Structure 1
């Protein structure tokens, strides 16, 4: 196995397929890396770029490796969602009308991504990939670099391309110049046009294990071992989810979730609603979803504890699980989880957060009423 793949960070299947493609000497000109956010699509894309630009018999040019890691052009052209500038038209370049402070923010975010391939680039009001960005790519790929074996166009969050932008990309995907490889990454491949997907070689990425998440949190984000260990079980296979939990004061969040459960089961509705409201106040919809998923996770752990199973997510709160099962031995936990899942789906139907909060607490409290 090549040095570049010695640490594949939980994506053995993707790495195995990419290695076979490399050894076949028949390299597709476009790939679609799909899988949930924060599972290593960007990291593996860079490792693959290094592999294809290595010399024969896996001899590595470390200066080239460094340029690829640093997202340096012309080796890597990174395409990301960008905000719209004041008075910007489709005839303007993708950054032409952006103010200086926004340009500096974009540069800073890309630098952070270069240092940490698991870092999630966040640029204010950047909600889509502009057609002007795609047009810029079409110009760049026609530049001639005979001394570079492969150049990569890495389109992050490809699902954020408008239909117009995707159509503009099609021609380049069909007939790219020699030595140009496109890699589109997305957690939502269904948002891409069938014509885009049909022109890309699909590579699926799996959720990460808690051990891999813990390793990445410590290596790339420099988080403390204990917090990395505790949060890894709740991250749903995603480094991005893990980081969001930590930045949202994970340990306090867990304490408040347990308080919501305790007050709901004691039929102390006002206290439960107050704490739940404090927990989600000024937070994103995704965070609210995450809280409900954590509540469901707690009940799933309660079921595991009842069946004497190990591998609990809420190991740090095992005593609360044991007390629950002692007091509510006959509680229909699977039915409750199904009802909470129904509430979770209501968030996507634009149901008000006050209603969602009340419904979650009511459903939990029904256990104590039976």
Structure 2
């Protein structure tokens, strides 16, 4: 039986695990969907919620599926980072003290998510999941609805709960009422407390293929096929990263990265630093991670060239790869790659962007140090 999985691209292992739970009637009360940003974790949770209504009568099922698709309570409670209002206390509801304009913006973002499950909700100054939102969950699960035998709580960017908020969630995870199922969706499971993880069934998600990313860009974001293919090529299997590259103009970004590499290797640190800052449109650690990932792709191309594999990602900059290897063939590219992994991980820890940027430039400069 297909179970309405058609729209969920790839992720066969995750779908197999979830289908098995359903067929054995042993669905856990809480899941953690863990994996890279933009690979379909939320969409899978949304589709699975509809699948779980498959055995109900048509009247209940049709009504439930419609409400789940529209993220309507009492069937769905959607939790995501929200801004904190002036004078807000932990006793207020999550939006009670927000301005009318903020509430309208939040509703508009939710509406966009309803239309496009790959859309990432973005609200200014919304950097954490508030404890107020967890208290809203407690109220949500405290009521019973005869026409909603199964109800679902989606916590998007669950890793943005601080320790206090996660501890507040624990009680609901420990003693969930019948018919309540949690989906904690995260790209950084290590930020979730062990006590949270131990109370959830962890389902891991993988990067998408270039074909799948291309299809999502075309079908859900109306991107031209040729542009979608090029962006997907550099996306690391993430729709989210592909959209960043799309917004940034990939060709210009690749050109900037080549400049950063040239100036760093040439030890023109000030110029390299300025070029790097110009490549960061939002001056954020998240954007720096994208830059680092593209530099790592260039390093992979360097390694490929050393093994006579000319299937480059930076195909328009083949000459720079050839020149680098002719001059610095003994450079320890693999070691640098691992050091960039470390800097990339530091970006998630909200360390100072200027420090991270300078570290990146100095590490790149090490490529020109002769043994």
Secondary structure of the residue aligned to 1:184 is strand
The farther-off stretch of 162-171 and 173-182 is: 162-171
Are residue 355 (structure 1) and residue 361 (structure 2) matched?
no
Match of 1:80 in 2: 80
Contact 1:77–1:153 (CA under 8 A) maintained in structure 2 = yes
The farther-off stretch of 265-274 and 284-293 is: 265-274
- 1:258, CA displacement in angstroms? 1.9
Contact 2:112–2:119 (CA under 8 A) maintained in structure 1 = yes
- Quote the Cα distance in structure 2 between the aligned partners of 1:264 and 1:195: 44
- For residues 121-160 of structure 1, what are the structure 2 equivalents within 5 Å? 121-160=121-160
Render the CA deviation track for 1:95-139: whole Å, top value 9, x for unaligned. 110001110111011111111111111111112222222222212
Match of 2:176 in 1: 176
- Quote the Cα distance in structure 2 between the aligned partners of 1:59 and 1:213: 36
The runs of 5 or more residues in structure 1 that have no matched partner are: none
- Quote the Cα distance in structure 2 between the aligned partners of 1:92 and 1:255: 49
Contact 2:218–2:228 (CA under 8 A) maintained in structure 1 = yes
Render the CA deviation track for 1:153-197: whole Å, top value 9, x for unaligned. 111122222333323322322222222111111122222222222
The farther-off stretch of 147-156 and 259-268 is: 259-268
Are residue 13 (structure 1) and residue 16 (structure 2) matched?
no
Render the CA deviation track for 1:192-226: whole Å, top value 9, x for unaligned. 22222222122111122222111111111111212
RMSD: 2.8
Aligned length: 368
The farther-off stretch of 200-209 and 188-197 is: 188-197
Match of 1:199 in 2: 199
Match of 2:110 in 1: 110
Closer/same/farther in 2, CA of residues 60 and 257 from structure 1, 3 Å limit: farther
Match of 1:161 in 2: 161
Contact 2:128–2:160 (CA under 8 A) maintained in structure 1 = yes
The farther-off stretch of 278-287 and 218-227 is: 278-287
Closer/same/farther in 2, CA of residues 321 and 149 from structure 1, 3 Å limit: same
Render the CA deviation track for 1:325-353: whole Å, top value 9, x for unaligned. 45555544324434545655666554625
- Quote the Cα distance in structure 2 between the aligned partners of 1:309 and 1:137: 54
Contact 2:336–2:364 (CA under 8 A) maintained in structure 1 = no
- 1:230, CA displacement in angstroms? 1.4
Secondary structure of the residue aligned to 1:4 is coil
- Quote the Cα distance in structure 2 between the aligned partners of 1:158 and 1:107: 20
Contact 1:340–1:363 (CA under 8 A) maintained in structure 2 = no
- Quote the Cα distance in structure 2 between the aligned partners of 1:56 and 1:284: 47
Contact 2:80–2:156 (CA under 8 A) maintained in structure 1 = yes
Closer/same/farther in 2, CA of residues 311 and 182 from structure 1, 3 Å limit: farther
Closer/same/farther in 2, CA of residues 243 and 25 from structure 1, 3 Å limit: same
Closer/same/farther in 2, CA of residues 58 and 268 from structure 1, 3 Å limit: farther
Secondary structure of the residue aligned to 2:202 is strand
- 1:21, CA displacement in angstroms? 0.3
- Quote the Cα distance in structure 1 between the aligned partners of 2:25 and 2:343: 50
- Quote the Cα distance in structure 2 between the aligned partners of 1:32 and 1:344: 23
The farther-off stretch of 354-363 and 184-193 is: 354-363
Match of 2:93 in 1: 93
Match of 1:238 in 2: 238
Contact 1:343–1:360 (CA under 8 A) maintained in structure 2 = no
Closer/same/farther in 2, CA of residues 184 and 272 from structure 1, 3 Å limit: closer
Give the structure-1-normalised TM-score: 0.88
- 1:261, CA displacement in angstroms? 3.0
The farther-off stretch of 202-211 and 357-366 is: 357-366
Contact 1:9–1:40 (CA under 8 A) maintained in structure 2 = yes
Give the structure-2-normalised TM-score: 0.88
- 1:240, CA displacement in angstroms? 1.2
